[in-house]
Structure formats: C-alpha cells, structure tokens
A and B are shown apart, each in its own frame.
Chain A
C-alpha cells in the first residue's frame, strides 16, 4: 500500500536548482495546508497561488513562503474583460498563474498532492525530478526501448541512429500519481478501491504524432518554449463541462510541440494523491466530455499546422481557427472555446510583451 512521506522524511537538496527561474503555480479553493509537507522542497521557490471561488474568503499561506496570491477580483482587475477566458469554480483557473508569471519554468501541483516515497522509502523530491526532465533533451522521433537515455545508468540502445541522439528541447514534464490514480468517473465508479501502488522507475518521451491525456495535478513546463499553449479552457461555472481542462491543454500542447520539434516527457516523478473526488460529481462534469472526446481526438490527430506557424502563439491561433471550423458542429461550446482561446493569446501577449514572438524551434 502506497503511503505518503512524512514531513520529517523530506530532505531539502543542498542547492535548489533554478530557484530564481521557476514559479510554482497552485490553484486552491480550500486551504494550503499541504504546503507544510512540501516545505523542504518548495520553500526556496516563489509561489503563485490562484484562489478560485469566493474572493472574499482569505486563504492562509503557511509562513515562510514567498508568494503572490490572486483571487477573482485580481484576475478581473489585471486582464479586464479578457478575464472571461479564465474559468471560475474550476482548477482550470490555474492557467492565470502561468500568464502572470515572469519565470522561465512553471511547476503546477494540486493541493491534495503530497510527497510520495520511492520503493526504498525515500521521500521523492518531485520538483527536482521535473527540473531534471526539463533540462535534459527529449527524443520524440524514435523510441528508445530503455526509456530516457539521458538518465543515469541508461543510454540509447543498439540501432538508435546517432544523428537523433542529440534530441530536442523538452517543453513539458508530466508526472504521475501513487495512491489515487487519475481515473475518469466511470472507472472510479467501477473500481472505487483501486489504488496505484506501482512505482514505475522510468521517464520517457511521448513520440511525435502520439496524443496523450495530460493531467494537471503534477506538471511542469518550460513557459518560454510552450507557455501560451497551456490554456486550460473554459470549465466550471456556467460551462457545460469540467475535468477536461488539462486534457484540452495537453492535446493543444502536444500538437504544437510536435509541430515545433519540442519534447514532452512522462513518467517520474510520482506524487502521492490523497483525495478521491466524488465520482458522481465527476460524472456530471465529465459526461459531455466523454462523448465529445470521440470527436475531439480525431480532430487533434488530423490537424496539420501550416509551415508559417513558427511561434506558439501563431500555432495556437491557427488551432483556435480550426476548432471553430471543425468542432462547432459538435456543440456550440466549441465556438465559445475557440473565442476564449484567442482571448487567452491576446491576454498572454499583453502581459508578456517582450519575446512573445520569438520563434520557438523549427516548424515542420
């Protein structure tokens, strides 16, 4: 049975890598007690707290953390009418944190995620592993059967062409979860007691041309390389769908990464996910998504981005255009979403004026 590490087991690294280049974005509607457990690993870093729900409520941040906190009033004030693209009453609001950050890297984590233990019992510094993943290349063009060749103790296998061994920059590091796995509502209902106790000691690059379900619970990315693609969509209050925010961002991000020759890694690090949300509530939120994804997936699989989309923003605007053209017939929601995607890019560029049209990688 998986167990979280206790606070005393977590030992801070001697030198916190990238401490001035990385922001930790945390959406919350409840409280931030979970930060106590992460303190040895997180304290050197700057936090961006995005407070969802009632802005008049005070969310207490544990002492000793350096942070900025934004509630709905702040969001409205900062982006004005463009705040319409930021979800309310859904953790999708976290992407506001990505937008206002001034750092190169983002790590985002849910407030019910704790420090996990590896099979030897040692506390896992998830942030450190994400940083390792982001700072080493990805290998999307050819699958390495020994997984990440840049990890200690591994390498490229026989038959792997040398010309592909430099790899490409890593844009996204997708971590996993012990204990409560990220299942959808129907699976949760069928297997309410299933717990993920399997520690898979691997990081691997998701190959080019392959989509995956990106979970936002334990995620890091290079904001400079891919930030504008990390829009978590329109969810929650007033929207017909929920629990597809990270999925949507993941599909858009993967298509753009594939186009710009950037890498997406998945696997380590693990966190310990402690709360199983109510499957009936989840079912109501996901219900439409379960049907819509049958149309959405082929849409993303068949997208071709034109060669002149050489920046993330250009790719994203093109995506929004195609969403409007091809997915509106599925539901008028996609019309709204396509518009929100454009609003998001406008807001992003407003808040991040310098370097916003830097060419990222080579368009294929």
Chain B
C-alpha cells in the first residue's frame, strides 16, 4: 500500500444481491476491516441483510435510496446497478468495488491477494496509454520501460480506473460458459498493463476500482436489458458503463489499467438458463462496439460530466432510433449527470 494514501481516502462499495453476506465479509475481513464500507442492498431484494459485526460501514436499503433520489428514480439502482448508488453517495477519493460472490484469491505462491492494495497501487502509479510497454507495467517492482520506449512518454498519465480479473468463474458470457460448462480460469497472470488509448475493451464490473474524484460520474447505470437479471450473464450494464468510461478517459488523457488483482469468483447460476436472457445483450454488443469506436468527443468537453453528456447526445442521435433500449440509456445518462451534480459531486477531505 502506498504510504501517501490514507485508509480514509478509500471506500469499498459492495452491491448486495444476496442477503447473507456473512461468509463474504468474513473471508474479506483481513483485507477490508481497516476501511470504510458502503453496502447497498439491491432494492428488489426482500430478505433482510445478514452482515457480521466488526466493520466500519454504512448500509443503504430501498428506503434510503427512495429518500435520496425519489421512488421513480430509485428503479435505476435495481440489481447489480445498486452499487452505483454507493458510488454516488461516497465522499472518498478512491472506490473499490467487488461483486458479493467474489472472495480473496491466492497468487501463484499461495499467498492471499490483497486486492485493495493492488487496486490502490494501480490507481496511484501512472498509466502509459500512448505506447505499449512489452514488459507490462513499468512502475512495478523489478520492471521498467524497455529499449525503444520514448523518454517523453515515460512519466505517464494519471490512472483513473483499475480493472481486476477473476479466477475460477471467469467473466464469460452465457453462450461461452454454456458451451464449456467445466471451464474455470486457473491461470494467474502476474501482470498489470495499461490498455492503450483508443483501444476499447469489455470492462467488467465484478472487480474494479476507480478514482472517484477524477472519473466518478462516468461509472453509471444506464443500459438496462429487457430481461436484465440477477446474474452477471444477464446484464450488460457494466460493459456499457465501461465503454463510456474508456471513451472519457481517452478524451481526458487519463489511463485505464487491466490485470491484477485477481479475485476468486464463486460458481453461481446456470449459464444455459441465462442464455435465453443474455442473448439480447450479446446482440446489442454488435451495435455498441462499433458505435463507441466511432465516438469523438469535442474539445469543449473538458470534464467527465461533459464527456458523459456528450456521449449521451451521440447515443440518442445515432443509436436511439435503432432500439428503444438505447434511447432509454441516453436519457438515463443525462439524468445521471444531473443526479451526480446535485447529490454526488463533492469529495470530503480525508478525516472528515
């Protein structure tokens, strides 16, 4: 953990889609216990949450969400999108967010991975999006920039987003997992790398961290599938949000890293059952990817809010007529920017 980052600059946001968080919290206790946690209960979840003692946390449930944003708006926080409420109300500089079916992983030496520490390291060391370093993250211990890497690009840019990975149940879509039901990810790749500028990728919401001060508004609930469900196979909300984030980061000269830390993702759900629901998401990506690859933000968009508003505009113009889901997403993005400005925009100073 970087010495210059204080624990109270970090919020850990957990979206609770299942009521019993006992084993989840117990497994993460050695890593999470020093931090403040924000637990947001899926507003659709009926049962009471079970959370073990001994954590410094705030829990937000449907009534809290309704109270802050109104009952009509609170529907945007249904399911996996409940975590965005946590991002909205947090006042910390850094947010780390993992799904509630993920546990700490072990590295190749059998040592427990401190996912929080690794995410913070990723966020507090520069990213290098303008030229690819073949030895991956040059700021890691034991590595550096290779021969041929221009010196003027070696100071890098601020890293706004850190995308972690998953051992065991990888973040595959339903068709892929259905075709290979036994496949589990056992490959621990000991690397972090910067995803180059203008290169897009599927940013999974299962294990991420970001600098809320710098990129907060771009992580947003907006694309909602018709059959959106309570398994990741039945959503694309994070993938859509991730595209917005990457486009904004590329435009604002911020970096996005991918790789470590790993979390261990538990087996859950049935890919074949989800197949029927997620097919919609799979089809949509065929439109979504070329669209985002073509987006060019104007020079006047100098803040993250500007970027989100611009993307929303272009979504409405170019995709809105193709499928109502996009028109709704565009509106949701505009609403989000307003919500962020009224509820979410400040960061408190550390210790407050």
Binding site for B on A (CB under 8 A): 119, 142-147, 153-164, 174, 176, 181-184, 187, 191, 194-202, 206-215, 243-244, 246-247, 250, 266, 286, 290, 293-294, 297
Contacts and interface: CB of A to CB of B under 8 A. Distances in A.
Taking each of B133, B134, B282, which has the highest tally of chain A beta carbons within 10 Å of its own beta carbon?
A: B134
A212 B131 contact: yes
Given A155-B180, A208-B199, 7 more contacts: A146-B170, A159-B173, A181-B143, A183-B147, A207-B195, A247-B148, A266-B134
Interface stretch (B61-69, B181-189, B299-307): B181-189
Contacts of A206: 132
A196 to B, nearest CB: 7
A213 B144 contact: no
A207 B133 CA distance: 12
Nearest to A248: B148
Interface string B167-200: 0001111001000100101111111000111111
A145 B204 CA distance: 9
Given A196-B143, A201-B188, A157 B170 contact: yes
A184 B147 contact: yes
A161 B288 CA distance: 9
Contacts of B242: 159
Taking each of A145, A176, A183, which has the highest tally of chain B beta carbons within 10 Å of its own beta carbon?
A: A145
Contact of B285 (A155, A159, A290): A159
A158 to B, nearest CB: 4
B181 to A, nearest CB: 13
B136 interface: yes
Interface stretch (B17-25, B50-58, B232-240): B232-240
Interface of B: 108, 131-136, 140, 142-153, 163, 165, 170-173, 176, 180, 183, 185-191, 195-204, 232-233, 236, 239, 242, 258, 282, 285-286, 288-289
A160 B146 contact: no
Nearest to A197: B142
Per CB-CB distance, the 6 closest pairs between chain A and chain B, nearest first, are A159-B202, A213-B148, A143-B201, A159-B239, A207-B199, A212-B132
20 contacts: A142-B199, A145-B163, A147-B189, A155-B172, A155-B183, A157-B172, A157-B202, A158-B202, A158-B232, A161-B286, A161-B289, A174-B134, A184-B149, A195-B142, A198-B191, A202-B189, A210-B197, A213-B134, A286-B147, A297-B153
Nearest to A298: B150
Contacts of B153: 297
Contacts of B185: 146, 153-154
A272 to B, nearest CB: 15
A293 B134 contact: no
A215 B150 contact: no
B148 A244 contact: yes
Contacts of B204: 145, 157-159
Given A145-B258, A158-B232, A293-B150, A176 B201 contact: no
Given A143-B200, A146-B170, A182 B147 contact: yes
Contacts of B190: 198-201
Contacts of A154: 185, 187
A181 B135 contact: yes
Nearest to B129: A210
Taking each of B183, B201, B202, B288, which has the highest tally of chain A beta carbons within 10 Å of its own beta carbon?
A: B202
Contacts, number: 171
A184 B148 CA distance: 7
Nearest to B144: A187
Taking each of B108, B185, B191, which has the highest tally of chain A beta carbons within 10 Å of its own beta carbon?
A: B191
Given A142-B201, A207-B199, A158 B147 contact: no
Contact of A153 (B135, B143, B187, B232): B187
Contact of A158 (B142, B148, B187, B233): B233
Contacts of A160: 173, 202, 285
Contacts of B150: 293-294, 297
Nearest to B192: A200
Contacts of B140: 198
A140 B289 CA distance: 13
B103 to A, nearest CB: 19
A297 B189 CA distance: 29
Contacts of A176: 134-135
Contact of B171 (A158, A214, A243): A158
B147 A247 contact: yes
Contacts of A155: 170, 172, 176, 180, 183
Contacts of B180: 155
A202 B147 CA distance: 21
A267 to B, nearest CB: 8
B151 A294 contact: yes
A181 B176 CA distance: 37
A329 B316 CA distance: 47
Contact of B146 (A213, A286, A293, A297): A213
Given A201-B188, A206-B132, A211-B131, A142 B200 contact: yes
Contacts of B171: 145, 157-158
Given A182-B147, A184-B148, A250-B148, A211 B170 contact: no
Given A146-B165, A207-B199, A212-B131, A200 B147 contact: no
A288 B300 CA distance: 38
A24 B252 CA distance: 45
A294 B200 contact: no
B99 to A, nearest CB: 13
Nearest to A119: B108
Contacts of A158: 171-173, 176, 202, 204, 232-233, 236, 239
Contacts of B170: 146, 155, 157
Given A144-B201, A266-B134, A153 B183 contact: yes
B144 A161 contact: no
Given A119-B108, A154-B185, A294-B150, A194 B142 contact: yes
B145 A163 contact: no
A290 B149 CA distance: 9
Contacts of A290: 151
Contacts of A161: 285-286, 288-289
